[in-house]
Structure 1
């Protein structure tokens, strides 16, 4: 009887709490209202009960300390297992800032300059042509070469095939994830070299495969797989033990999955990024991480490149990464991708808020990028704030939760 009772208790036990990723402080000591922060729990639990999402994990740091770190709901789309705080999520495009930092570590070692032409690393990308009105049969010569800064701020002229309906879009690989499984690194670059650009380099912000190319630049210059280079330069120094490009078998039970169908559209949904080894580790969207790991990464940026005495980047490199690189000559199509980001520009792999109103609360100079499967992050230097939200909502609700979590966090700040 005791054995059966013990087994039953183990079956229904809550998951063990993961260690805090940053020093913990009371919300009040960090300028938050604990009562208002608890609205996050109220909102999440109500939405989970309504079947809007399986669960979520959120980490909020201010002034270098952790004010909030909680898990809600279930880790699985079937809603049978409680969500642990150390759940592993496919972070999709939140991979991009990781790639940006990896690239800047090479800048600091003198291996590249962000103004370098891509041809320095990939000579096959020379002599680019540009499609007129998206017609691959009607092209003109590119006015200048693609540079690394073009790639980092999505002004390269490369595009995502799934983000348009021109004849040229139909020739491009659809996304970072599909590219990583369809192509080897050499075949991926060969495919891009064979296609005209959608825009002249440096003239239009267009969300694209550019950061995947930057990931391969890192591989070429380090002579390592992207995940190994990131492990050496970012993950190990920051103690990001659960971030990478493939979830080890021993950790598969901590992988968060989405509801079987999108609660808005009713369409089936399934994400397995990080469970199947890719042909190449795409810098634009293939990594997995936890809220704990990513809030340490965000805090490192907020600190100017260092955390716990370990420096990943110089303050100058972080400043360059997180300032607005969208000059007046670049057509800003950012809101076509992130509808919430009115009055935002773009830095090196992160969006940067400008002066003026926005659909999101926050301050000029805050920076952010999110993941298509439901994850989000932002850093607000003026508030000394870093926020990471992890959820498996790959469908239509992901934009909604970016606004909701943003509002709930800022409404809890009192001083």
Structure 2
């Protein structure tokens, strides 16, 4: 750890270099190190000539960085007594009652057994409902894609009710609590929150997270699409547009995804994750933050999560947690998560660090480009 103040210029130099080489069209980063905060915007909101420069107010589709925010919302409702962590979710998601489970994740859809127990709120937060990402082209994954309920970077063209009905009519890949499968559990959880409270996720996020923290640019769509950066996917022939400013996130969605549905800014996210890093006030008690950021899955389940979970990572309640320092910038006890649209947030108590990087370059793989940023941040501490 440096004896002088944080070396923020060294972080910006790394990011500006990625803009100069064309790897990133632009970025906004916000970092707090030992109480000192710095925000930097570089590049442009799109690759087209004449595009607006990035500013601290530029909004991004934060993708799976939504998950820890959704987890904080869920734990706030648990603290209110709306439901318990180990309550079955079938009271709000009856479509999942008495569901069937495949005899093996790659089995034919007709080869099933009964679920041994009901799915709980904990199962959804820990990604152990039995549905989610399977990288092999199994019959279940093919059918989820056909029904337009497989995980992806953009909101599927269904309502929340339709999403749960389509998932519930399919067998799960594994028994509740038995296997770690990414993504789908959080979207099931989002519908459960709406039904349990009688309020939309738009209202719940506004009332329980954004309002108390003063997050003025965080929600499920961009009220002013001109503030939204164009999203791109990397490719061998250069980037292609995933979603333009007037695209999917320019209007209120029919399905509010708790897995990946939020737009936000770097200053908003820094404020949110700083509150959690500092004990949760005013949205959560410290005990709930501690539970959220504690390893909650088994070694076997971590192995199932590769390559989404790196060798240093495990999973808590709705967020990634670091259990080892495989790379020099990592630290056991750090936590946070990445979004497939090119976003990353991380809290490292050992360095008194909270960091946010938002880009519009989609990830080509786990830790795609973020290791360079986090290495620079660690060196600047």
Take 1:74 and 1:328, find their aligned partners in 2: how far apart are those partners? 42
Aligned to 1:377: 345
1:267-323 deviation per Cα after TM superposition (whole angstroms, max 9, x unaligned): 6332244224321111111110000000011101101111xxxx1101111111111
CA contact (8 A) 2:14 2:373 kept: no
Q: Write out per-residue CA displacement over residues 84-119 of structure 1, whole angstroms, 9 at most, x where no aligned residue.
A: 111100001111111111111111111111111111
Please state how far the C-alpha of 1:331 moved relative to its aligned partner. Answer: 5.1
Cα distance change of structure 1 residues 397 and 132 upon mapping to structure 2, 3 Å threshold: closer
- Structure 1: 5+ residue stretches without partners: 1-26
Q: Which residues of 2 match residues 250-265 of structure 1 at below 5 A?
A: 251-258=224-231, 262=234, 264=236
Give the C-alpha shift of residue 395 in structure 1: 4.3
Taking the aligned partners of 1:384 and 1:407, their CA distance within structure 2 comes to: 15
Q: Is the 8 A contact 2:319 2:337 kept in 1?
A: yes
Closer, same or farther in 2 for the Cα pair 1:75/1:328, shift >3 Å?
closer
Could you list the runs of 5+ residues in structure 2 that have no partner in the other structure? none
Q: CA deviation at 1:32?
A: 3.9
State the Cα distance separating 1:39 from its structure 2 match: 2.6
1:38–1:319 CA distance, 2 compared to 1 (3 A): same
**Which residue number in structure 2 is paired with residue 165 of structure 1?**
137
CA distance in 2, matches of 1:331, 1:38: 36
Query: What residue is the counterpart of 1:244 in the other structure?
Result: 219
d(CA) in 2 for partners of 1:331, 1:263? 29
- Structure exhibiting the larger radius of gyration computed from Cα positions: 1
Q: Which residue number corresponds to residue 16 of structure 1? A: none
1:155 aligns with 2:125: no
> Deviations 1:333-385 (Å, cap 9, x if unpaired)?
233214xx213211011011113x42462321110111110010000122221
1:110 and 2:78 correspond: no
Between the two structures, name the one with larger relative contact order (CA 8 Å, sep ≥ 6).
2
> Which residue in the other structure is 2:169 paired with?
194
1:335-346 mapped onto 2 (5 Å cutoff): 335-338=306-309, 341-346=310-315
User: TM-score, normalised on structure 2?
Assistant: 0.91
Q: 2:328 & 2:308 partners in 1: Cα distance?
A: 15
Residue by residue over 1:4-40, the C-alpha shift from the partner in whole angstroms, topping out at 9 and shown as x without a partner, is xxxxxxxxxxxxxxxxxxxxxxx989x5443xx3232
Distance in 2, Cα, partners of 1:53 & 1:273: 22
The number of residues matched between the two structures is: 371
1:268 alignment counterpart: 240
Alignment of 1:3-402 (within 5 A): 32-34=5-7, 37-66=8-37, 68-80=38-50, 81-133=52-104, 134=106, 135-160=108-133, 163-172=135-144, 173-175=149-151, 180-248=155-223, 251-258=224-231, 262=234, 264=236, 266=238, 268-271=240-243, 272-306=247-281, 311-328=282-299, 330=301, 332-338=303-309, 341-355=310-324, 357-359=325-327, 361-396=329-364, 399-402=367-370
Length-normalised TM-score, structure 1: 0.84
Structure 1 Cα separation of the partners of residues 190 and 163 of structure 2:
12
Q: Is the 8 A contact 1:269 1:394 kept in 2?
A: no
Following the alignment from structure 1 to structure 2, what is the Cα–Cα distance between the partners of residues 79 and 152?
A: 43
2:14 and 2:358 map into 1 onto residues whose CA distance is 15
Three-state SS of the structure 1 residue aligned to 2:55 is coil
Distance 1:409 1:236 in 2: 29
| 3-state SS of 2:249 partner | coil
**1:264 Cα offset (Å):** 4.1
